[in-house]
Amino acid sequence: MDDRKNYRPWDAQQGGQTAVSPQEALPEGDLVFFLLDTIAHFDLATFHQYYAGETRGQPPFDVTMMVTLLVYGYCVGVCSSRKIAAACERNFAFIAIVGKDVPDFRTISDFRKIHRTAFRPLFLEVLRLAGEMGLVKLGNLSTDGTKMGANASRHKAMSYGYMNKDIERLEKEIDQLLKQAEQADAEQDAALGARRGDELPEELKRREDRLAKILEAKARLEAEALAKANEEQKRRDEEQAQREAEGRKRRGKEPVPVDPTPEDKAQTNFTDPEAKIMKQSNKGFDYSYNAQAVVDAEEQIIVAAEVTNQANDKQQGVPMAQSALDNIEAAQIERAQAEDGTPVPIPNTLDAGYFSEQAVGELEKLGLDPHIATGRQKHHEPAAPLAEGESAPETSVKEKMQHKLRTPAGKLLYAARKHIVEPVFGQIKGVRGIRKFLLRGLEKVRAEWQLICLTHNLLKLWRRAKHAAAS
């Protein structure tokens, strides 16, 4: 007796007999349809300029289609050009964008590289749309940074100390190979016939190429060390001038003279020389970039996105604030006005890594109301008591900031930072899985970060539109 469970009928060949369009297979409010409708209305003139006057070869793929394809790929965490090209052949959402004319991975990769400078205008275009939809209120701009992995291998790096040893070794080997080549030329001249005299043995060429790369990398490290030494000397000179103006003497021993020579452990990478070793959360150290963002509190819209190869955030607060203000103006987002017609200072919350007295002063000059932690609160340390009123005029900038953060309004404003900017990085890295850059070099990485952040904003716009349609 056959006691097997009855199953629903299944024919493996049935799918090949039924024509299904993406419009039929995907839900009506799918992200891909939102992007197809939205990006078609964007001003993509910056992308079109590249092809103006070009009449050679086959016609390029439609610019709006390629932009939509890249944007959708980054929205869903499919960033590799090879993975995007593969998805265009088997994923309904990607097929809805490209149709039957599928670009290969090289075309997708080249389009991203060629038009990298066009992503900033596109970022502003999305920000303008977010402002029109009322998603940017400027009630609290929160600034923070996250370390994003660089497209650079640890095995393609070398320290300054090892460079000096390797240069010495290569120079000896090149000299030895040249002597061997001269001897071989003399012995085999009759057999080889006439020679141009400029051929190089493969081993010699390989070593000379490697020597040239190492010398170039060594020069980079020396230039960086010299720049740091000049900055340190400038800082010491300013401190000495301040002491002399106040009639004070230096305490303790004279500092050791500034040495412009790189440390032996200083490293550089050959695949992406501009990437730097940085500490990653719970993952030790790796070649990375420091991706910065300024996020508005209303709907977590990113209003400014920049990248630096400096691991420290201390120097980033003011440039990020300036970038945010420039973008807000370019996107035509209105700021609240006081009775006298001047813009009301925008609250700007930053963690302790950004604090310096100079940064506080410059942020205030820009028309912001900075709320910056002056230090980290120790574990299990009791919270400071609430403060009332204004701080005393004679107190330092640091003490005034500490007082501001202890007031009820300041405490509430700064506490909001944790659910404004930090979740944005979680959505990008944890939900979409974008944890490292694909492009190399600081300029290209900045363009890719703009693309990542504008897709974050587009996802916010899509969800708002979807919610509005459902209500």
Q: Is residue 9 part of a domain?
A: no
At 125, is the pLDDT very low, low, confident or very high (cuts 50, 70, 90)? very high
Q: What mean pLDDT is predicted for residues 224-240?
A: 79
In the numeric block, which tokens belong to residue 110? Answer: 């080249």
240, 269, 298 — which closes off a domain? 269
Say if residue 214 is in the same domain as residue 232: yes
Say if residue 354 is in the same domain as residue 368: yes
pLDDT at 235: 80
Whether the pLDDT of residue 167 is over 90: the answer is: no
Amino acid identity of residue 437, one-letter, is: F
Q: Is residue 31 part of a domain?
A: yes
Whether the pLDDT of residue 189 is over 90: the answer is: no
At 385, is the pLDDT very low, low, confident or very high (cuts 50, 70, 90)? low
Q: What mean pLDDT is predicted for residues 337-366?
A: 91
63-70's contacts with Cβ under 8 Å and 24+ in sequence apart are 64/39, 64/40, 65/97, 65/98, 66/103, 66/108, 66/111, 67/39, 67/42, 67/122, 68/35, 68/36, 68/39, 68/97, 69/94, 69/97, 69/98, 69/103, 69/108, 70/108, 70/111, 70/112, 70/451
Q: Is residue 309 part of a domain?
A: yes
Say if residue 228 is in the same domain as residue 339: no
At 431, is the pLDDT very low, low, confident or very high (cuts 50, 70, 90)? very high
Q: Is residue 369 part of a domain?
A: yes
Whether the pLDDT of residue 429 is over 90: the answer is: yes
Residue 4 CB burial class (10 angstroms; 0-12, 13-18, ≥19): exposed
In whole numbers, what is the pLDDT of the chain averaged over residues? Answer: 84
**Of the segments 116-130, 277-291, 391-405, which one has the largest average pLDDT value?**
116-130
**Of the segments 91-95, 149-153, 167-171, 393-397, which one has the largest average pLDDT value?**
91-95
pLDDT at 263: 77
The pTM of this model reads 0.81
Pick the range with the lowest mean pLDDT from 1-10, 138-147, 279-288: 1-10
Say if residue 306 is in the same domain as residue 382: yes
Tell me if 351 sits within 8 A of 144, measured CB to CB.
yes
Whether the pLDDT of residue 356 is over 60: the answer is: yes
Give CA–CA dist 252/255, Å, rounded. Answer: 9
Say if residue 307 is in the same domain as residue 440: yes
Q: Is residue 459 part of a domain?
A: no
pLDDT at 15: 59
pLDDT at 6: 77
Say if residue 172 is in the same domain as residue 57: no
Give CA–CA dist 416/351, Å, rounded. Answer: 12
At 66, is the pLDDT very low, low, confident or very high (cuts 50, 70, 90)? very high
Give CA–CA dist 154/277, Å, rounded. Answer: 9
Q: Is residue 128 part of a domain?
A: no
Whether the pLDDT of residue 84 is over 70: the answer is: yes
At 154, is the pLDDT very low, low, confident or very high (cuts 50, 70, 90)? confident
* Gyration radius (Cα) of the chain, Å: 29
Whether the pLDDT of residue 243 is over 90: the answer is: no
Say if residue 260 is in the same domain as residue 280: no
Say if residue 297 is in the same domain as residue 399: yes
pLDDT at 354: 93
At 248, is the pLDDT very low, low, confident or very high (cuts 50, 70, 90)? confident
pLDDT per residue over 1-57, tens digit each?
567 777 777 776 665 655 677 888 888 889 999 999 999 999 999 998 888 877 677
Q: Is residue 435 part of a domain?
A: yes
Pick the range with the lowest mean pLDDT from 17-31, 62-76, 293-307: 17-31
Q: What's the structural domain count of the chain?
A: 3
At 240, is the pLDDT very low, low, confident or very high (cuts 50, 70, 90)? confident
Say if residue 324 is in the same domain as residue 425: yes
pLDDT at 199: 52
Say if residue 184 is in the same domain as residue 91: no
| Rounded to 5°, angle at Cα 22 from 17 and 23 | 115
pLDDT at 229: 76
pLDDT at 249: 80
Q: Is residue 397 part of a domain?
A: yes
**Residue 54 belongs to domain spanning:** 15-114
Say if residue 216 is in the same domain as residue 343: no
Say if residue 61 is in the same domain as residue 109: yes
pLDDT at 372: 93
